Structure 1
Amino acid sequence: MSARPIPVVLDVDTGVDDALALLLAVRHPALELLAISCAGGNVPLAQVVENTRRVLDLAGAPPVPIAAGMHRPLVETPQDASYVHGVSGLGALELPPSEREVEPVHAVELLRRTLLDAPEPVTVIALAPLTNLAVLLRMHPEVLPRIARIVMMGGAVGAGNATAAAEFNVWHDPEAAEIVLTSGVPVVMYGLEPFYRATVPAERIAELGRSADPVARAAGALLAHLAGVTEDEGRVDGAGAAAIGDAGTVAAVIDPTLLRLRRAPVRVALAEGPTRGCTVVDLRTGLGAGGETTKEAESHVEVVLDLDGARCAELFLAAVDAGAAVPAR
C-alpha cells in the first residue's frame, strides 16, 4: 500500500524548467499540491502568473490556489532570464489563455494561510528567487513549525551560471537567500551540481515531441528549447540532450533516495563585486583555522552533492508521458 501523498506548496518564477516542474508536480501521485506562489525571476511577475495558469491547464490540474507575490528582489534591481527562457518564459511553446482564478491576496498571505491551515507540516518546493519566502519568514514567524522543510533550487558548491560565482536564483536576490538559509528551517539546497545531472537524450526529446499526449509534446518542446540554449554551457553530456532542471528538485521530494546529501553550513556572499550571490558551502570537518570547531553537525542545511541522474530523469519522463508507468515510491 502506497504512502500518503506529501503535502507541498510550490514557489515559482515559471520559465521553461519551472513549467517542467509543474507538470511533474501535478501528474505524480506522490504529491498533494496545496498552493502555488509566484515571484518575479525568469520573467516579470505578470508573465510568471500567466505561464503558471496555462501550464496548470495543460497538466489538467485541479483548481489549485495561485497568487502573485514579490515582483522584484529585496534590494537588487530585477534582471530576468529571458535570454534563456524567451520573452514569454516558455520558449517557443504556445499555450491557450487560461481562465483559472488568481487569489485576490498577496502570495505571502496565501503561503501563510496554507501552512497554518494544513493538518500537517508542509514541504515548500522553492524554484524561484527566494523573495517570497524571505518575506514570509520575516513577517510571519508563526509559520516556521508548519514548514516540514524547504527544498530549494538554488546555489552551487562550485561555479555559478549567472556569474562565475553565483547561481541565478540566489544571485537574483542574495539577501532573500541569506534569510532563508539562516532561518533555522530545515533546507535542502538542490544547486547546480544536481541540476545538470538529470538529463534527457536528444532521441527521447524527439519522441516526446511526436507523442499523441499534449503534455508529453509540451515537455518535448520545452526540453528541446533548453537543449538549444544550453548546448554551449558544457554542463550536459550528449549532443541535443537537455537537463530537466527545476523538475529534478520536485523529483528529489518524490524520491529522496535519488540524492547524495551532505549537512553543511551555507552562507551567501552579500558584498558588491564578483562574488555577490555566491553560496559559501562549508564542507570542512574537524577543526578550522585557530582550532575553531566546524559546524557541519549543527547545520540545518543539507546540500545535494550528487544524484542518480538516470533514475531522476526516468521518474520525470514516466510522469509526463501518458504511455509510461509512474514508478512506485
Structure 2
Amino acid sequence: MNGHEQGNSRAAPSRLRIVVDTDMGVDDAAAVAWLLSQRERPVELAGVAAVWGNTGVDAAAVNVVALLRALGREQVPVVMGEAAPSSGPMSPIGSLVHGADGMWGRAAGTIATCPKDLVAFYRAVAAADTTLLALGPLTNLTRVAALAPDVLRRFARIVVLGGAWRHGSITPVSETNFWHDPEAADRVLAERLPIVLVTRDAHRAFALTHDDLAALATAGSPAARYLAAPMRAYAQVTGRFGEPLNFPDVVAAVLAVEPAAATVRRSALVRVVTGTHGLVRGQSVMGFADNERLAMIEGGAALARLVEQALAEPTLHLGRALAAILAREPDNAEVVLAVDAARVRRSFLCALTREART
C-alpha cells in the first residue's frame, strides 16, 4: 500500500463482545435481533443468560434458543438463571404485553436444555473487553455478585435497562425492571460496578409506527420474519392503552454498541426503593447535585445538625465535613436521560429491513 492509499484508508471498527442477560419478551427479542443484524459495528454475542421477568425463566430460555436458531446462531451459549425475584412472588404482569410465554406463541415447540450454573457461566464470559447488557430484572446479577463478588467487576461496562427519573412505566415513578425486583436493583447498584443506566426517561422517546411494522412484516430478513407476528401482537396490546409503540430494550442495545446515541448522560448516586411500598416500590432515587447526594447519604436531619454544629463551632470547616460525607458514597451509575430517538429508529429499521427509512 502506498502513502496515498494509507492516508485514505479507514480502520475497520473493532469487534465488540457482548453478553446479554434477558427475560426474553418481544422487545428483548427485537434488541437481540438488532444486535445480530446491524452492520454499524461487528458484534460477538458471547452468551445469553435467561432470567424471569416478562415471562418465567423456562419460557425465557426457550425464547432465547428459538431466536438464536432462527438467526443461525445456535452456537451461542445459553444458561438458565433465576426463576423468581429476590423476595416475594413473581409478578405475572409481563404476560399482558408479551403473552403467557413471552413471545405470543412464536417459540412454540422449541425445547431448551440449558445448563443452570449461572455463576460458572458468568465466570466463563466476563472479561475486560466485554460489555454486559442487562435487559430484565437484575436478579441474576445480584445472585452472581453474592456468590462471586469479583466476576461482575471484570466487565468493561454493564449497560442496564432500568430506572426512571421523572417518567415511570409500571407506576408513575417506577420503571418495570426495577419494580419487578427492587432488592436486586438496589444491591447491584451498591456494588459500584461500571454501570450505564438506560432510564425510562431516555427510551420512552423511541417508538415505531404502524408503517414501520408493515415494512418489517414484508421484509425478507430472518429477524424481520421471526419478529413480525409477536411485534404485531405487542402493538395491539399497547395500542389498547393509548401508548406509543415503544421498544425499550432496543434503545439499550443500540447504546451498548453506539454510546454516542445518548444525548444526555449524567453521573449520579442511585438508590432503589425496596419492599412493597405501593406506588413507590422500585422507584429509583437519583442524586445528581451535591445537595441531593448529601441528603441521600446522610439524611436531612443529620445535615441540619451538622450545620448547627458549624454555626456553633467556628473551627469546624463545613466544606470539608460535607466533602467527607460525599466521599463515603461515590456515584454508582452513569445515567442516560435522553437519546437520539430518530437515530435509534433508523438504525433498527435499517438492520432488520436492510433499508433506511425516514
SS of residue paired to 1:37: strand
What does residue 5 of structure 1 align with? 15
Q: Which residues of 2 match residues 94-109 of structure 1 at below 5 A? A: 94-95=106-107, 97-98=109-110, 102=114, 104-109=115-120
Structure 2 residue 162 is the aligned partner of structure 1 residue 151: no
Deviation at 1:108, TM superposition (A): 2.9
What does residue 193 of structure 1 align with? 201
SS of residue paired to 2:79: strand
What does residue 239 of structure 1 align with? none
**Distance in 2 of aligned mates of 1:196 and 1:144:** 28
SS of residue paired to 1:141: coil
What does residue 84 of structure 2 align with? 72
**Distance in 2 of aligned mates of 1:248 and 1:270:** 26
What does residue 50 of structure 1 align with? 62
Q: Which of 319, 325, 347 lines up with 1:315 in the alignment?
A: 347
Give the stretch that moved more between structures: 302-311 or 274-283: 274-283
Unmatched 5+ stretches in structure 1:
237-241
Indicate the structure with greater helix content.
2
Give the stretch that moved more between structures: 276-285 or 249-258: 276-285
Structure 2 residue 334 is the aligned partner of structure 1 residue 302: yes
Structure 2 residue 178 is the aligned partner of structure 1 residue 167: no
Structure 2 residue 67 is the aligned partner of structure 1 residue 59: no
**Distance in 2 of aligned mates of 1:83 and 1:105:** 27
**Distance in 2 of aligned mates of 1:124 and 1:64:** 15
Letter in 2 for 1:181: L
Give the stretch that moved more between structures: 213-222 or 54-63: 213-222
**Distance in 2 of aligned mates of 1:198 and 1:295:** 35
Distance 1:67 1:144, change over 3 A: closer
**Aligned partners of 2:61 and 2:112 also within 8 Å:** no
What does residue 246 of structure 1 align with? 249
Q: Which of 263, 270, 288 lines up with 2:274 in the alignment?
A: 270
**Distance in 2 of aligned mates of 1:145 and 1:44:** 28
Give the stretch that moved more between structures: 224-233 or 142-151: 224-233
Distance 1:295 1:190, change over 3 A: farther
> After superposition, what is the alpha-carbon deviation per residue over 1:32-78, rounded to whole angstroms, capped at 9, x for unaligned?
11011011111111111101111111222250000101000111211
> After superposition, what is the alpha-carbon deviation per residue over 1:226-261, rounded to whole angstroms, capped at 9, x for unaligned?
32222355553xxxxx22220111100111111021
Deviation at 1:135, TM superposition (A): 0.9
> After superposition, what is the alpha-carbon deviation per residue over 1:95-119, rounded to whole angstroms, capped at 9, x for unaligned?
46446752x342232112221xx4x
> After superposition, what is the alpha-carbon deviation per residue over 1:130-170, rounded to whole angstroms, capped at 9, x for unaligned?
01101111211221431112101111112322223321111
SS of residue paired to 2:156: strand
SS of residue paired to 2:18: strand
**Distance in 1 of aligned mates of 2:268 and 2:240:** 31
Letter in 2 for 1:283: F
SS of residue paired to 1:56: helix
Letter in 1 for 2:255: A
**Distance in 2 of aligned mates of 1:99 and 1:144:** 29
**Aligned partners of 1:35 and 1:111 also within 8 Å:** no
**Aligned partners of 2:22 and 2:134 also within 8 Å:** yes
**Distance in 1 of aligned mates of 2:15 and 2:74:** 15
SS of residue paired to 1:231: helix
Q: TM-score, normalised by structure 1?
A: 0.87
**Aligned partners of 1:24 and 1:247 also within 8 Å:** yes
What does residue 220 of structure 1 align with? 228
Give the stretch that moved more between structures: 251-260 or 213-222: 213-222
**Aligned partners of 1:196 and 1:243 also within 8 Å:** yes
Unmatched 5+ stretches in structure 2:
1-10, 295-299, 308-321
What does residue 150 of structure 2 align with? 142
What does residue 43 of structure 2 align with? 31
**Aligned partners of 2:119 and 2:148 also within 8 Å:** no
Structure 2 residue 211 is the aligned partner of structure 1 residue 203: yes
Give the stretch that moved more between structures: 172-181 or 296-305: 296-305
**Aligned partners of 1:244 and 1:313 also within 8 Å:** no
Distance 1:233 1:180, change over 3 A: farther
Give the stretch that moved more between structures: 289-298 or 188-197: 289-298
User: Percent of aligned positions with the same letter in both sequences?
Assistant: 30
Give the stretch that moved more between structures: 186-195 or 24-33: 24-33
> After superposition, what is the alpha-carbon deviation per residue over 1:195-223, rounded to whole angstroms, capped at 9, x for unaligned?
22222221121111122334223333343
**Aligned partners of 1:76 and 1:173 also within 8 Å:** no
Structure 1 runs (4+) greater than 6 angstroms displaced: none
What does residue 114 of structure 1 align with? 125
SS of residue paired to 1:142: coil
